[in-house]
Structure 1
Amino acid sequence: MMNAILMLAALSPDAAASLPRPAIGPELRATNCAVADERKRLLREGEAALEAAKPLMEDATRRMEARAHAVGDQLIARGVWTETDRARFSLAMLGRPEFKAHLAEVTSILDAMMRSVDTLAAAPKDEALSCRVMLDMLGQVDRSAAAADDGWRIIEHYYAEEAQRLGVSLN
């Protein structure tokens, strides 16, 4: 259950760090889709930027899972939590308003990404449309990374509350 929550919330190596951001150059973001050369460059380089973002997000998810597992392990090692408590915590998180709002945001981003992929697949020869969709997808990558940072802050806050409730501190 916790893995599913973490996949949705998605990501950070520690409390102070944010996720690595995909390198999407400002020249790509400033593409004028009405200009053929700019459009072609974006379609060529934008796809590479999106591909480069995938392993970053996967790595961030792995780090978030490891961080959350380590925090749970700390609580268990201190004798204030059990595996049952870990599961309870994960399920309770799903019902909290702030986390529900976060999940709604993540779902919105994923839905937008899927619509963009569908649009690109439906009109592969329409370069102007593909260019606009690619620009939108690059923005969605940014939204996704920001949402991941927000998700981790929410989760970390919940862990801090739990530690305080238990009278222990977290590393």
Structure 2
Amino acid sequence: MAGVLDHLPSILAFTAPLPNSYDRIQPNTWSGAYQCWGKENREAPLRTACPPGIPNGFVSNFEIKSFDGCANPHLGLAAIIAAGIDGLRRHLHLPQPIDANPATLEGKLSRLPKSLRESLEALQKDNVLKELIGEKLVVAITGVRKAEIEYYSKNKEAYKQLIHRY
């Protein structure tokens, strides 16, 4: 989970694939707009419920709230698994969970990308995901996402078609 948290800005290029996806990922909307995790915190993009009897710090399952309905689940899961592998390889540890609304901690937490363009920039800098997912696939994803950005910037009403397409 620590690897997923670390790579979350890049993962969004897979799990929030359309410019419209970022309209949902806003503070105070239970969608997880800040790079943090929490135990049963509805504002955290990564959250977990620690069952009774499980030692504190041990996470058996978690939810990723910034996984858009328009995302390809296979690509999203590939990015999540790659990030998890990196977390295991580097022996990353989770920071303390955030129990408060992350929006009230502005300046202490990083804001996740506010646009598809920002998540693509994060992916371009993320050499670990490029290596684990594969350079060719990342190039293809980047090309498709850039085409989506261009299409939606030229067609302001295109978001309405999403209802029928998805």
Could you say whether these structures have the same fold, taking a TM-score greater than 0.5 normalized by the shorter chain as the test?
no
Give 1 or 2: higher strand fraction. Answer: 2
